[in-house]
């Protein structure tokens, strides 16, 4: 691995880290309006997420080769989430956090990167990703009722999730190849599930969701 490349990436990560620290220092100075607090938090989160993406990519580039495991696993777990193929063949991608607000500056890169890496690891561990001529993608966010902002569907940053799956589980995200559903479930367990099914099984999905079978 080129030392100059590594040093450049490390320098970029430090810049992101320092920028996040500046925003957090501003927050620590005292009371601000909710709007200003949210703006500073969003800006800090963007820098932290960009730093994390650079760090993930660098880790993958410098990681030594590891012989493949003789045990094939179809359910790969990480801190950030997991990918599971349900008994009926549907893919369930769980993220251990809610989707970011769609108005957050640069808020979809981390979602895209997380889902992409989860799917890549899932395939490396023997999982098979289906590709549908027309897919139904349902995003179900679980959260307490005091996270009320998530109930506004137009605020959900779902585009990063769609873009991460486009070209893998469906060819394009136009209305002829992808249908999209956004749902919220009141739950103390804060997380986000992204289900992908064949389009003609969307009715079965809705039944299982309303019957609390997922």
Residue with the two structure tokens 């932290």? 48
Q: What's the whole-number average pLDDT of the chain?
A: 85
pLDDT of residue 76: 45
| CATH level 2 (architecture), domain 76-210 | 2-Layer Sandwich (3.30)
Residue 106: C-alpha distances to residues 84, 143, 160, 193, 208 (Å): 28, 23, 10, 21, 34
pLDDT of residue 72: 46
How does pLDDT run across 70-127, given as a tens digit for each residue?
544 444 445 588 999 999 999 999 998 888 766 654 557 888 889 999 999 999 999 9
Domain boundaries, the chain: 3-62, 76-210
pLDDT of residue 69: 52
CA 35 to chain centre: 25
Helix (H, G, I), strand (E, B) or coil at 186: strand
Residue 141: C-alpha distances to residues 25, 55, 146, 147 (Å): 31, 27, 13, 11
Contact 195, 214 (CB under 8 A): yes
**Following CA atoms 23, 27, 28, 29 in sequence, which dihedral angle do they give, to the nearest 10 degrees?**
110
Contact 203, 179 (CB under 8 A): no
């Amino acid at each position: 691995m080129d030392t100059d490349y590594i040093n450049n990436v490390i320098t970029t990560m430090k810049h992101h880290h320092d920028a996040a620290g500046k925003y957090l220092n501003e927050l620590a100075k005292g009371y601000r309006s909710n709007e200003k607090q949210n703006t500073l938090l969003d800006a800090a989160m963007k820098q932290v997420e960009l730093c994390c993406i650079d760090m993930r990519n660098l880790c993958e580039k410098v990681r030594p080769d590891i012989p493949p495991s003789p045990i094939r696993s179809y359910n790969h777990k990480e801190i950030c989430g997991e990918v599971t193929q349900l008994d009926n063949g549907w893919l369930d991608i769980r993220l251990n956090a809610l989707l970011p607000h769609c108005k957050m500056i640069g808020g979809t890169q981390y979602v895209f990167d997380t889902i992409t890496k989860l799917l890549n690891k899932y395939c490396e561990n023997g999982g098979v990703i289906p590709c549908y001529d027309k897919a139904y993608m349902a995003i179900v966010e679980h959260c307490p009722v005091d996270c009320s902002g998530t109930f506004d569907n137009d605020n959900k940053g779902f585009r990063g999730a769609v873009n991460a799956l486009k070209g893998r589980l469906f060819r394009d995200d136009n209305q002829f190849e992808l249908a999209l559903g956004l749902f919220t479930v009141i739950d103390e367990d804060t997380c986000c599930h992204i289900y992908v099914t064949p389009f003609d099984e969307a009715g079965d999905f809705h039944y299982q969701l309303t019957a609390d079978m997922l």
